[in-house]
Structure formats: C-alpha cells, structure tokens
Amino acid sequence: MKMREFIVDYQATYETCSRCGKAYAGSQGLVSNPEITDAKFLASLHACVGNPEILLAIAFDDLTGASPVVSNLLVLRTGSGVQMCFVEPEETPWGDKNTLGKLLTRQEALASPLKEPYFRIADVIVDRLPHLHFFLHPYNL
C-alpha cells in the first residue's frame, strides 16, 4: 500500500502534559484509506523526558464491531532515522483522559491483530504532518 493512497485530515491542538504540567503542541485528526478502516489520532510534540518525542494515540474500530481500540506509540528521533514502540497509556501526556476509545496496554497492542496497521498509520501521520516531520527532522525539509 502506497503512502499517497492515504488521506490525512488534521488540526493543531494545544494541551497540558499530565506528566510535567507544561503546555505542548499537538494535533488531532483522521487518516483514511479505501483498503483499511479509518483511524482517528491524537499527537503530542513534547520533550519533558529529554529527547524530542512524539506520542501518538491511534484508534481503530474494533474488528468485532465494538467500540474503538486505542494504542499509544512513542516516536523518537535516532541517529539513523525514527524509532517507534508501543507504550502504556499512563506514559502519554493525556494519560487516561484519552477520549478516542478503549485504551490498550502495551502488551495488548503487541498482541493485537491491528499491530501492523497501527505502525503503518503512525508512519503516515509522522510523514504527512509537516510540523511532526520537522519536529523529528529539524534540518531535513
């Protein structure tokens, strides 16, 4: 599936971090593609733990038709590119205040049949939103 087949609609947000209490910029939006279900997302651009990081909450409708399920991913800049991993809900700036759906733990996300789509959508979000891309790659326009 090619990146250009995804449609991304988003808006900027400004929130307060539940970990450090500082204000941070972010985004919320929708990623759609004809081959997979739509994904809602929240993104935070924050550096309260040192390195610049992006935290994403990505919600897909549950495959059973139940309420949406949400995985949280940490996106970090590394020397050779970008690294992503699932994190626990309490490790995010929005903590348990996420309103997108049922929050999955890190282990639940790793075991989810939606594991690959979560990472695919995270790639699209980081690649398509200029402020997120620049946050991770400030010298690579």
Name the pLDDT band for 48 (thresholds 50, 70, 90): low
The pTM score is 0.84
Amino acid letter, 98:
N
Domain residues for 97?
Answer: 3-136
Query: Which residues 6+ apart lie within 8 Å of 91 measured at CB?
Result: 19, 55, 72, 74
Asked whether residue 82 is assigned to any structural domain, the reply reads yes
Task: Please check whether residue 112 is in contact with residue 118, taking contact to mean a CB–CB distance below 8 angstroms.
Answer: yes
Mean pLDDT for the stretch of residues 18-33: 83
Asked whether residue 49 is assigned to any structural domain, the reply reads yes
Q: Residue 103 half-sphere exposure, CB side, CA atoms within 13 Å?
A: 20
Asked whether residue 141 is assigned to any structural domain, the reply reads no
Structure tokens at 26: 């972010």
Task: Please check whether residue 102 is in contact with residue 121, taking contact to mean a CB–CB distance below 8 angstroms.
Answer: no
